[in-house]
Amino acid sequence: MQQTVHLKASRRSFWLWFFQRVSSVGLIVVLLFHMIALHYIDPSAEIDLLSTKIRLQNLVFVLADIFLLGFALFHGLNGVRNVVYDYWPKPGTRKIISSILLVVGIAVFIWGALVLAYLVLLG
């Protein structure tokens, strides 16, 4: 039984480690796209609500924003979780903080997606 619990925790740790790396690569790719599209293709263009509404009529920009939100949230909150694991070795504390970070991450992602949907539908 103890070995099974340890194996599950080890698998979960591997996948969190793996997705930390995937999210970092995803962040780099999406941020490059974002910076080039918004700041270098037409550097004289103003970034305001009207241009944002127009840009969000394009599915590529909507998907880029959703991926940027998801990658940044996962990467940041998983990084906080890793720091917590370094300083609080008690499993109970780790589990509580991991649960709080998971709930916060899901809530903020939903909130961000709803705001993005509102901007898309506004245009």
Mean pLDDT by 10 residues, the chain (123 residues): 60 90 97 92 83 88 96 96 88 90 97 92 74
33: its two tokens: 């796209």
pLDDT at site 2: 54
Give the Å distances, CA to CA, from 96 to 8, 40, 89, 115.
18, 44, 12, 29
pLDDT for res 69: 97
pLDDT, position 51: 85
pLDDT for position 102: 96
pLDDT of residue 33: 95
Q: Which residue has the tokens 């920009």?
A: 61
Q: Which of 121, 35, 11, 26 is nearest to 66 (CA)?
A: 26
Could you give phi then psi for residue 16, rounded to 5 degrees?
-65, -40
Chain centroid offset of residue 61 CA: 16
CATH class, 2-122 region: mainly alpha
pTM to 2 decimal places: 0.84
- pLDDT for res 103: 97
Predicted local confidence at residue 25, as pLDDT: 97
What confidence score (pLDDT) does residue 32 get?
A: 96
pLDDT at position 4, please? Answer: 58
d(CA 57, CA 53): 7
